[in-house]
Structure 1
Amino acid sequence: MQDTTWDLNPKFDFRDEHGVRRGKKVSLAKIPTEFEGPFSGKEHGVAFKENAIDEIRDLQYQMFTEAKQSLLIVLQAPDAAGKDGLIRKVLGQMNPQGCRTYPFKVPSSEELAHDFLWRIHKATPAAGKVSIFNRSHYEDVLVVRVEDIVPKSVWGQRYEIINDFEKLLAHRGTRILKFYLHISPAEQLERFKKRLDDPTKHWKLNAGDYEARLKADLYREAYEDVFEKCNFRHAPWYIIPADKKWYRDASVAAIVRDTFREMNPQLPPVDADLDEIRRLYQRELGKQ
Structure 2
Amino acid sequence: MRSIDHSKFRVVEDIRLSKTETYLDLNTSEKNIIKELEKIRKDLGEWQDKLYAHGKYSVLICLQGMDTSGKDSLIREVFKDFNSRGVVVHSFKSPSTNELRHDYLWRHYVALPERGKFGVFNRTHYENVLVTRVHPEYILNENLPHVNSIKDIDENFWQTRFREIRDFERHISENGTIIFKFFLHLSKEEQKHRLLRRLDKPNKIWKFSPGDLKERKIWSQYQLSYQEAINNTSTEKAPWYIIPADSKPSARYLVAKILLEELTNYEDVKEPPPSPEVKKNMDEYREQLKKE
- TM-score normalised to structure 1 length: 0.90
Q: CA offsets per residue over residues 242-277 of structure 1, 9 Å max, x none?
A: 111110010000011112201231111111434633
Match of 2:17 among 20, 28, 46: 28
Match of 1:266 among 266, 270, 273: 270
Distance 2:132 2:282 in 1: 59
Specify the SS of the correspondent of 1:131.
strand
2:271 counterpart letter in structure 1:
L
Distance 1:143 1:92 in 2: 30
Distance 1:63 1:281 in 2: 27
CA contact (8 A) 1:175 1:234 kept: yes
Distance 1:126 1:97 in 2: 11
Q: CA offsets per residue over residues 150-184 of structure 1, 9 Å max, x none?
A: 34334442100000000001110111100000111
Specify the SS of the correspondent of 2:164.
helix
CA contact (8 A) 2:48 2:82 kept: yes
Match of 1:90 among 53, 78, 103: 78
- Cα RMSD over matched residues? 1.7
Match of 1:146 in 2: 134
Matches within 5 A, 1:1-288: 12-14=4-6, 16-22=7-13, 24=14, 26-37=15-26, 39-149=27-137, 150=139, 151=150, 152-153=153-154, 154-264=157-267, 265-271=269-275, 272-274=277-279, 276-287=281-292
Q: CA offsets per residue over residues 164-212 of structure 1, 9 Å max, x none?
A: 0000011101111000001111111111111111222222111111111
CA contact (8 A) 2:33 2:253 kept: yes
Unaligned stretches of 5+ residues in structure 1: none
CA contact (8 A) 2:41 2:81 kept: yes
CA contact (8 A) 1:140 1:155 kept: no
Unaligned stretches of 5+ residues in structure 2: 140-149
Q: CA offsets per residue over residues 125-169 of structure 1, 9 Å max, x none?
A: 221111100000100000011012234334442100000000001
Distance 2:223 2:175 in 1: 32
1:17 counterpart letter in structure 2:
K
2:67 counterpart letter in structure 1:
D
- The offset of 1:284, in angstroms, is 3.6
Distance 2:34 2:80 in 1: 16
Specify the SS of the correspondent of 1:176.
strand
Question: In 2 relative to 1, CA 279–191 (structure 1 residues): closer, same or farther, beyond 3 Å?
Answer: same
- TM-score normalised to structure 2 length: 0.89
Distance 1:286 1:94 in 2: 35
CA contact (8 A) 1:144 1:155 kept: no
CA contact (8 A) 2:45 2:79 kept: no
- The offset of 1:92, in angstroms, is 4.5
**Matched positions, count:** 275
2:97 counterpart letter in structure 1:
S
